[in-house]
Amino acid sequence: MKSLSVRLGVIVVIGLAIFGNAEVWGADWKFYGSTEMYLGYYDAQGITRPSKNIIRVWGKDIFMKEGVSKLVRKSGKGYENFSHSISLSEINCVEKTFRQLKVTFYDNEGGSIGTSNSPSEWIFFTPESMGEKLYKEVCK
């Protein structure tokens, strides 16, 4: 009987590990550009169209040492172990504008260190910016 409960426990732990990481496994992260601060990726598989001209896309920005240092100077020591952010954005492909709907910041161990769920205002892409690079990738 003890052997059966041990086996069931192992199955439950493995099942939780699999289903707990389903979001990560389901994403198809495609590289679209970089700066001296971070590498930019978007989830090609998760793109949706809530209306004719609007695209919703998940992005992942993996920050490099310079990017983390800049963030610490701007936002405080709570970001010293900052690793990456995952955000949901909307892009208006006709008007060439975008807004961020949600962003979550993660530390080196994968723990959340901050979240914003407030949609930003619609803004135009700056020429040759990371935003414009993403626009060119997803609004083909």
Contact yes or no for 93/51 (Cβ under 8 A): no
- Return the structure tokens found at 30: 């495609």
How many domains are there within the chain?
1
Any domain includes 5: no
- Please give the full DSSP string across 72-97, using - where no structure is assigned: HHHH-GGGTTEEEEEEEEEEETTTTE
Q: If we measure between CA atoms, which residue out of 8, 97, 104 comes closest to residue 59?
A: 104
Any domain includes 67: yes
Contact yes or no for 54/92 (Cβ under 8 A): yes
- Return the structure tokens found at 21: 């990481």
Give the rounded percent of residues in the chain with a pLDDT score beyond 70: 82
Any domain includes 58: yes
Any domain includes 14: no
Query: CA 73, CA 70: separation in Å to the nearest integer?
Result: 5
Query: CA 13, CA 81: separation in Å to the nearest integer?
Result: 28
Residue 124: give the domain boundaries. Answer: 28-138
Any domain includes 19: no
Any domain includes 65: yes
- Rounded to two decimals, what is the model's pTM? 0.77
Average pLDDT, the chain: 84
Any domain includes 23: no
Which stretches of the chain score pLDDT less than 70?
1-25
Q: Would you state the pLDDT for residue 14?
A: 34
**Beta-carbon count within 10 A of 85 CB:** 20
Any domain includes 10: no
Q: Specify the CATH number for the domain of residue 103.
A: 2.40.128.710
**Beta-carbon count within 10 A of 104 CB:** 15
